């Protein structure tokens, strides 16, 4: 073979390799987008499952209503609520993991944090978290602990007000 033909074959081979790499990059990007979509769908499905439980299980919805109204719970209600929260927090932990892996964008994740903050504003929920926080990964715990800590100054201020006699 002549040098010209060899050079053309080398050029064609190089172009084919570059095209293959570009094609592989496009495939990987499409796969990542598909995984993001599937992850979001799966997590949304779990959230709808929790919503369905509250909507269809009268005992659970009554227990949550009592917690939100700061009413005392019966022993069975405390257990029900604790297990419900364990499921909620496990879903949160999974969402956080998916966010860390890049399968959630920040704009998708921020509303979840807003909901987490609202949930953790309840003292009973925070007490349950304190009792079970070791069941979750350290990085997730740090996120929820920082949310809980946002309420600590408010809680300390309320305690100080209750302890301080009014003249």
Q: pLDDT tens, 79-136?
A: 999 999 999 999 999 989 989 988 888 998 999 999 999 999 999 999 999 999 999 9
Residue 3 lies in a domain: no
- Identify whether 42 is part of a domain: yes
What's the whole-number mean pLDDT along residues 24-51?
A: 75
Does residue 30 sit within a domain?
no
In a domain? residue 146: yes
For 116, the domain range is 38-150
Q: Is residue 166 part of a domain?
A: no
- Domain assignment present for 159: no
Is 24 contained in some domain? no
User: Residue 117 phi/psi, 5° resolution?
Assistant: -60, -45
Residue 81 belongs to a domain: yes
Q: What's the structural domain count of the chain?
A: 1
- 153 vs 11: which has the higher pLDDT: 11
Q: CA torsion 10→14→16→20, rounded to 10°?
A: 150
């Amino acid at each position: 073979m002549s040098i010209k033909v060899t050079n053309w074959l080398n050029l064609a081979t190089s172009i084919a390799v570059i095209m293959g790499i570009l094609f592989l990059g496009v495939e990987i990007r499409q796969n990542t987008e598909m995984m993001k979509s599937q992850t979001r769908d799966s997590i949304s499905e779990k959230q709808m499952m929790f919503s369905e439980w509250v909507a269809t299980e009268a005992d659970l919805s009554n227990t949550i209503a009592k917690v939100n109204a700061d009413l005392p719970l019966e022993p069975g209600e405390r257990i029900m609520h604790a297990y419900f929260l364990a499921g909620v927090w496990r879903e949160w932990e999974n969402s956080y993991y998916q966010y860390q892996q890049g399968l959630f964008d920040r704009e998708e994740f921020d509303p979840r944090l807003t909901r987490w903050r609202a949930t953790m504003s309840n003292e009973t929920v925070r007490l349950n978290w304190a009792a079970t926080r070791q069941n979750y990964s350290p990085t997730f715990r740090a996120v929820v602990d920082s949310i809980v800590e946002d309420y600590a100054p408010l809680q300390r201020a309320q305690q100080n007000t209750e302890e301080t006699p009014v003249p």
